[in-house]
Amino acid sequence: MKIGLIGHRGAGKTTIFNMLTGLRAQVGGFGGKEEVHLGVIKVPDARIGKLSQIYKPKKTTYAEIRFTDFPPTQGEDNLKSNNTVVSQMREVDAIALVIGDFEADAKPLKDLNDLLTEMILADLTVVENRRSRLKKEKARPLEENLLERCSIALENEESLRNLAFNPDEEGLLAGFGFLSRKPLLVLLNQPEGKAGQALDAAYLKELKRRGLDGLALAAKAETEIAQLDEADRATFLKEIGIDEPARDRFIRASYSLLDLISFFTAGDDEVRAWTITQGTVARKAAGKIHSDIERGFIRAEVIAYEDFIVLGSEAKCKEAGKLRLEGKDYVVKDADIAHFRFAV
Ligand SMILES: Nc1nc2c(ncn2[C@@H]2O[C@H](COP(=O)(O)OP(=O)(O)O)[C@@H](O)[C@H]2O)c(=O)[nH]1
Ligand SMILES: [Mg+2]
């Protein structure tokens, strides 16, 4: 999964990037040209740890999230649709929109509206370019009607994520990577004094009104703590009133926002977590591992994680009737331990 950090200059994007990844990319220092920062994290999952203890595999593999910390785009920091940074933004699966709320004169609601509008305008440019090209080509009524609908919404300053599309339309839209259609999580970056506090009710209400989810964090304080030795971390977090590090809250919120779940594969060679969307059927899930397994899918042998932990081994699960044989259309559940049988 790829998540992009987007926001105004000085909002705390790079600070948050460092907090999430444990890297030390340069914060502040806005003199020169800022770079795109890339980082990968393993998604902490205690269940993988437990499976590893039992299977003692050669290799343990956690799910991953890839972060891109985008610089504000050139000029007055506006998103320009032909900008190379914006085209990279179009490739992420979800956007974390960073809003600075730690200075006395912060205007978090204005910043939010400005950023949403910029994304809408960037999308509108793409829609209009495509529409004028289509006028010169042979008629494609489905796409033309679809883009007209998008254009009207965007002209009304409405994000495309608020529109409903049928599967054919989804297919047509997929290639555009519209920013205003990407799942979006607002990260409100608060001062240390507000560390551990939930998102302000009034702000949350404004987000909900726009159909968005948000998370409050105190990035600077949390980044400093995240860079301490593990032993000291919990003490400091407690001192400033934080129960759970923002990194963990962020990961949980992202999974929920994107409707993601994990299934596991487990054996002597490897215990591994795989990320899929809720509602993915067994055959598609198998394709995450290898396209051959999807193509030659025969069946899935599935044990629920909870059953496995209670009974302690695959053999015991089989005895107790807890190993299920499932077909290609079985909807995989969170924490299913799956073996796929296939032939190519
Ligand atoms: N006081 C305070 N300063 C912050 C906070 N977050 C970021 N900063 C500072 O604001 C400046 C810009 O942060 P940076 O992460 O580089 O912003 P970016 O432009 O969005 O990447 C840096 O000097 C940070 O130390 C915060 O929560 N509180
Ligand atoms: Mg930065």
pLDDT at 73: 67
Per-residue pLDDT tens digits for 103-117: 999 999 999 999 999
pLDDT band at residue 224 using 50, 70 and 90 as cut-offs? confident
Judged by its nearest atom, the ligand closest to the C-alpha of residue 100 is: 1
- As a whole number of angstroms, the distance between CA 35 and CA 90 comes to 17
Residue nearest to atom 7 of ligand 1 (CA): 12
Query: Strands 64-69 and 2-7: what pairing?
Result: parallel
Q: 238 Cβ partners below 8 Å, 6+ apart?
A: none
Residue matched to tokens 């020169």:
32
- As a whole number of angstroms, the distance between CA 90 and CA 79 comes to 12
Q: What is the per-residue burial (b if ≥16 Cβ within 10 Å, else e) of 315-325?
A: eebeeeebbbe
Specify the range with the lowest mean pLDDT, choosing from 109-118, 205-214, 228-237, 270-279. Answer: 228-237
Q: How far is the CA of 266 from the centre of ligand 1 (A)?
A: 42
Helix (H, G, I), strand (E, B) or coil at 267: coil
Backbone angles phi, psi at 126, to 5 degrees: -65, -45
Q: How far is the CA of 258 from the centre of ligand 2 (A)?
A: 25
Identify each DSSP E strand in 103-183 by its residue range.
Answer: none
Atom of ligand 1 nearest to the CA of 11: 20
Structural domains in the chain, sorted by start: 1-46+60-130+176-258 (3.40.50.300), 279-342 (3.10.20.30)
Burial class of residue 18, CB neighbours in 10 A (0-12, 13-18, 19+): buried
Protein residues whose CB sits closer than 6 Å to any atom of ligand 1: 7, 9-15, 27-28, 98, 102, 189, 191, 218-220
Q: How far is the CA of 9 from the centre of ligand 1 (A)?
A: 9
Per-residue pLDDT tens digits for 141-157: 999 999 999 999 999 99
pTM above 0.95, yes or no: no
